[in-house]
């Protein structure tokens, strides 16, 4: 008789435990279905020509003549993010987390310089994209590297960087 009572209570305990496991597995399945998987966190940063194409950049501009590039930024950080875009001339390479030592100017379009940077602050939500037209000139003849840097949260640390080599020359006499 004692053996029969122990067997019944064991069956009851196992049945309750199995029920708890079944209910918890249903809740876990629903949670996994409705909770989005967080993928890689990153930001796209790229330059386009004035036709929004990733080729045929103004690689041979004329001195003091206006040129247009489009800078694209897309937030995949899974949170809203503040960015600052820097554009300047440089002979250096800027790696991730390098601190910029250049004076930011609070203007966007203008003449590029080795001493100061054109800057633009932007705010993007997750999965949001912005295209920023940049109208720039270069005031000295020769080969120059235009550097595009993206920093986050108003810092001077490089988060992403791009560059474009340009060969600036005098315009032909018939264009002056």
Q: Which residues contact 103 (CB under 8 A, 6 or more apart)?
A: 115, 116, 117
pLDDT at 175: 61
Cα separation, 33 vs 106, in Å, equals: 46
CA distance to 3, 11, 18, 19, per residue, from 14 (Å): 16, 5, 6, 9
Per-residue pLDDT at 112 = 94
* CA distances from residue 113 to 86, 117, 163, 166 in whole angstroms, order as listed: 12, 7, 14, 13
Q: What is the pLDDT of residues 107-137, one digit of tens each?
A: 899 999 999 999 999 999 999 999 999 999 9
| Residue whose C-alpha is closest to residue 48's, from 116, 133, 112, 119 | 133
Higher-pLDDT residue of 120, 175: 120
CATH code for the part of the protein at 42-175: 2.60.40.10
Q: Which residues pair with 114 in a beta bridge?
A: none
Q: Work out the pLDDT band at 77, boundaries 50, 70, 90.
A: very high
**Residue 38: pLDDT over 90:** no
Q: pLDDT for 8-33, tens place per residue?
A: 788 889 999 999 999 999 999 998 88
**For the residues of 9-31, what is the DSSP string, one character each?**
HHHHHHHHHHHHHHHHHHHHHHH
Domain residue extents for the chain: 1-35, 42-175
CA dihedral over 109, 144, 97, 55, signed as positive or negative: positive
- Report the DSSP pairing between strands 129-138 and 67-76: antiparallel
Average confidence score pLDDT of the chain: 90
152-172 per-position pLDDT tens digit: 998 889 999 999 999 999 988
């Amino acid at each position: 008789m004692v053996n029969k009572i122990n067997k019944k209570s064991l069956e009851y305990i196992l049945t309750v435990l199995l029920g708890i496991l079944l209910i918890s597995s249903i809740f876990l399945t629903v949670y996994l279905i409705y909770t989005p998987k967080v993928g890689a966190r990153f930001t796209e940063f790229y330059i386009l020509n004035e036709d929004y194409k990733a080729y045929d950049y103004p690689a041979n501009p004329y001195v003091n003549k206006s040129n247009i590039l489009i800078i694209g930024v897309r937030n995949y950080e899974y949170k809203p993010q503040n960015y600052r875009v820097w554009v300047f001339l440089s002979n250096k390479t800027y790696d991730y987390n390098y601190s910029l030592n250049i004076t930011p100017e609070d203007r966007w379009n203008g003449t590029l310089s080795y001493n100061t940077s054109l800057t633009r602050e932007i705010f993007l939500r997750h999965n949001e994209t912005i295209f920023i037209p940049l109208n720039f000139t270069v005031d000295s003849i020769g080969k120059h590297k235009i550097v595009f840097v993206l920093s986050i949260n108003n810092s001077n640390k490089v988060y992403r960087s791009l560059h474009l080599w340009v060969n600036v020359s005098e315009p032909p006499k018939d264009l002056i």
